[in-house]
Structure 1
Amino acid sequence: MTNFIFILADDLGYADLGCYGGRKPVSPNLDRMAARGVRFTQGYSNSPVCSPTRFGLITGRYQYRLRGAAEEPMTGRFRGSTEIGMPPGHPTLPSLLRDAGYHTALIGKWHLGYPPHFGPQKSGYDYHIGPLSGGVSYFSHVDRMGKHDLVKNGEPAHYDGHYLTDLLTDEAVDYLATRAGDRKPFLLSLHYTAPHWPWEPRAQGGPNAHVDTDIRHLDGGSVHVYGEMIKALDEGCGRVLQALDDLGLADDTVVIFTSDNGGERFSDTWPLVGGKMDLTEGGIRVPYIVQWAGKLPEGEVCTQHCMTMDWTATMLDIAGVAPHPDYPLDGVSMWPVLRRPDQVFDRPMYWRMNHRSQQAVREGDWKYLEVDGNRYLFDLSVDERERANLAQRDPARLAAMQAQAAAWADTFGPIPADARSELVYTEKDMPAR
């Protein structure tokens, strides 16, 4: 049976890595991974913010099917909620694989609801260590509400002063060592918090390091600091890949790397515009790199359209595990394309978001985008920067794609009125100063 490692970066921009045109030498290990595997250039996240994408990943379905994933409400103020989180009874990627004989582990960020009603081990993971919320200090591991937020199998875990990116890498390498002598296949979900704010590089160091509690985070940080945070992420990925080689697991393990959404304000997204929070290309187009030693072509670039939930379908397909019949997948398996990266196929992709009343459709080369009642039509084959609005030149296509977007949205009903993105906060949500 085949093992899986799904590495999820947090807020990494499309062009932050060298293999995607990055202008800073911060990713030699991930660049090497791309040279040894398949790199997708038309890959997207399920959402331009964290939690919804993670709902899409764990279920393999559009996140809009679940109330807890309507926007991104996974903040400290929802501790104790019985509604906002990943329902324990819903089948998931880890629960389906676990039931098929896999050992399952989440090392890193959960961000899908708080105990006692929600949690990684209630949704199919045998083992978990990491934060439950969206953003925590890299050194003190407290969340934006000032609460300690690092748990191990549901209990507080104290590694004060240990840089979180390195801590998660250490845990992942140790986990692989425990699996090497076991015949049982495994799913390792390695969900880093890097390079998500707060802007804390390794060099800042120590348990008394500054903790950014300002949700707006419009001050602090720099391009240099951001680059150092990516370097730590890249080094971690390199250590995990090296462990696979050293332990003799590489030939039996599919490794997938991506980001949960587009980049933050220090990210490089060239040639795309926009970033996290928006349905412009910079907010939802993300890197995808897939490696499987000896099983996939090396150094291939694939233009297949895909999004986060497709990789859930892909892993289940490779494992030979059927989805639950009552919860059919919205994701589409990329396994045929991984074997033949030049054999791409058509598949529409859809997004919506309350923030700025956004909606988008990507079908073929065309993208329909609506923001605050303004409608746009782009031919991404010649205009990835979304600068030339063709709405007036091709009104028939605009009307057809608008109707297509509306019909798709109607299948889920409206976004709940109280759903909002995590970056839209009032003073009552902020910790006392």
Structure 2
Amino acid sequence: MTHPTRPNIVFIVADDLGYADLGCYGGRDASFGPVSPVLDGLAAQGLKLTQGYSNSPVCSPTRFALMTGRYQYRLRGAAEEPINSKSRGSTTLGLPPEHPTLPSLLRDAGYRTALMGKWHLGYPPAFSPLRSGYDEFFGPMSGGVDYFTHCSSTGQHDLYLNDAEQQEGGYLTDLITDHGLDFVRRMAGGARSGTPFFLSLHYTAPHWPWETRDDEALAQEVKGNLFHLHGGNIDTYRRMIHHMDEGIGRLMELLRAEGLERDTLVVFTSDNGGERFSDNWPLVGGKMDLTEGGIRVPWIAHWPAVIAPDSTSTQTCMTMDWSATMLDAAGATAAASHPLDGRSLMPLLRDATWRDDQPLFWRMNHRGQRAMRHGPWKYLRVDGHDYLFNLEGDERERANLAPIAPERLAAMVQAWEAWEATMPPIPADATVSLGYGVKDMPQR
């Protein structure tokens, strides 16, 4: 297979999607049928990773890593878990405009760039997508908004077109799709003649509030109370995923119609593990946790010119690795002042048998969590207790091997602490917000 030198790139990010919510990851059909037929098809026609991770078990920090290709801990804003509406007006809690980013580096390499969907990396005027490398933006600035009123948890309207507030009726998932399709249509001619595009399609689905296209009346009823724990159900949650899947189907149809599918790299993932209605089987835990259910997420890549169909890999990776991969695929280079922590997976896209075993590290202010994965082994600390798991035979993290493999545990603790010493410390004033809808979940 030949490698086009400048592919178009579409980076699709779901919000709070569980590891097994998609059919291709073992998810069950819903009452209305398959939940994710389009994404299942992309996995079948491309590459599916079974051991891929997000950089964090919460929203904002993962998005810092996505944008920078670096461990999010290097930036002050990523210490907040998450950046929320109380951060409005802050000049520190956000992605610094001067920091090189995936879209800014791609734009410097000649790409047209757009973010359609969730930003969640700081509020204007200090921060915005247009100040961090995107030519165009449509979506909410905050972490979660109502799908119909487009108001945040404070009741404040939060929908923007570029840097201006945008009043636009409709179901948010569909609006994000519509604006993404409009961007691709306008970029298609240039893409065919040598000016590629980069589209970040960052859905808020299936993040709360739990509303389908048919739930506008419910949206009016709970306006301003998005953290309600009495709403939603599994069927509603699955329909929200299905609405997103339908939008991705419309995108793929457009790429085919414009003759762009073969030379477009489409990557799909989630910003962290699932929440209250998600299916993480066989993993335990969820959002906010460094157990597998909080950080292991779907990773699907589709690029007919390079990726062989029906490819599956157990290669470990993190969000920031895919940022490095997209830069590599585009022939763009990182800024010397901000070297990447992520490494390119382009060899994996060409050959699903490729392996590059590097340690992965996490830390989390909430409950003093830390984690490291190297090969099949995982070191985890929660509430001051250390655990050692062999994930190859124990993906549910039930058999703590620390007492019978103390030397391995000690080596991984030492490795984690050596890595931690290279990162800025967590600021004393960093806060942890539990306003995710997980407050009703039992503690382990």
TM-score, normalised by the number of residues in structure 2: 0.93
Cα 1:345/1:221, change in 2 over 3 Å: same
Give 5+ residue unaligned stretches, structure 2: 1-5, 437-444
Q: Find the partner of 2:172 among 156, 160, 164.
A: 164
**Partner amino acid, structure 1, of 2:49:** F
> Within the alignment, does 1:191 sit opposite 2:199 as a pair?
no
> Within the alignment, does 1:109 sit opposite 2:118 as a pair?
yes
Counterpart for residue 37 of structure 2:
28
Write the distance in 1 (CA, Å) between the matches of 2:167 and 2:288.
32
Counterpart for residue 235 of structure 1:
246
Counterpart for residue 140 of structure 2:
131
**Matched residue SS, 2:77:** helix
Counterpart for residue 344 of structure 1:
355
Per-residue deviation, residues 232-284 of structure 1 (Å, max 9, x unmatched): 01111111111111111111210000000000010000000000000000000
Counterpart for residue 296 of structure 1:
307
Alignment root-mean-square deviation, CA: 1.3
Write the distance in 1 (CA, Å) between the matches of 2:308 and 2:146.
39
> Within the alignment, does 1:181 sit opposite 2:189 as a pair?
yes
Q: Find the partner of 1:405 among 416, 420, 431.
A: 416
Cα 1:207/1:156, change in 2 over 3 Å: farther
TM-score, normalised by the number of residues in structure 1: 0.96
**Matched residue SS, 1:189:** strand
**Matched residue SS, 1:255:** strand
Cα 1:168/1:414, change in 2 over 3 Å: same
Counterpart for residue 100 of structure 1:
109
Q: How far is the alpha carbon of 1:201 from its aligned partner?
A: 1.0
Write the distance in 1 (CA, Å) between the matches of 2:308 and 2:228.
42
Q: How far is the alpha carbon of 1:338 from its aligned partner?
A: 1.0
Give 5+ residue unaligned stretches, structure 1: 426-433
Percent sequence identity over aligned pairs? 61
Q: How far is the alpha carbon of 1:210 from its aligned partner?
A: 3.4
Write the distance in 1 (CA, Å) between the matches of 2:255 and 2:44.
17
Counterpart for residue 429 of structure 1:
none
**Matched residue SS, 1:277:** coil
Q: Find the partner of 1:64 among 64, 68, 73.
A: 73
**Matched residue SS, 1:122:** helix
**Partner amino acid, structure 2, of 1:92:** T
Q: How far is the alpha carbon of 1:212 from its aligned partner?
A: 5.9
Write the distance in 2 (CA, Å) between the matches of 1:417 and 1:215.
29
Write the distance in 2 (CA, Å) between the matches of 1:187 and 1:423.
33
Write the distance in 2 (CA, Å) between the matches of 1:212 and 1:359.
37
**Partner amino acid, structure 2, of 1:105:** A
Per-residue deviation, residues 330-374 of structure 1 (Å, max 9, x unmatched): 001110011111121201100001101100000000000000101
**Partner amino acid, structure 2, of 1:107:** M
Q: How far is the alpha carbon of 1:405 from its aligned partner?
A: 1.1
How do residues 221-370 of structure 1 correspond to structure 2 at under 5 angstroms? 221-370=232-381
**Partner amino acid, structure 2, of 1:176:** V
**Matched residue SS, 2:221:** coil
Write the distance in 1 (CA, Å) between the matches of 2:262 and 2:417.
45
Per-residue deviation, residues 314-344 of structure 1 (Å, max 9, x unmatched): 0111111110001000001110011111121
Cα 1:12/1:208, change in 2 over 3 Å: closer
Counterpart for residue 395 of structure 2:
384
Contact 1:51–1:112 at 8 Å: present in 2 too? yes
Contact 2:152–2:226 at 8 Å: present in 1 too? no
Q: How far is the alpha carbon of 1:294 from its aligned partner?
A: 3.0
Q: Find the partner of 1:13 among 8, 18, 37.
A: 18
Q: How far is the alpha carbon of 1:387 from its aligned partner?
A: 0.3
Counterpart for residue 84 of structure 1:
93
Cα 1:94/1:279, change in 2 over 3 Å: same
Write the distance in 2 (CA, Å) between the matches of 1:339 and 1:211.
48
**Partner amino acid, structure 2, of 1:140:** T
**Partner amino acid, structure 2, of 1:6:** F
Contact 1:73–1:84 at 8 Å: present in 2 too? no
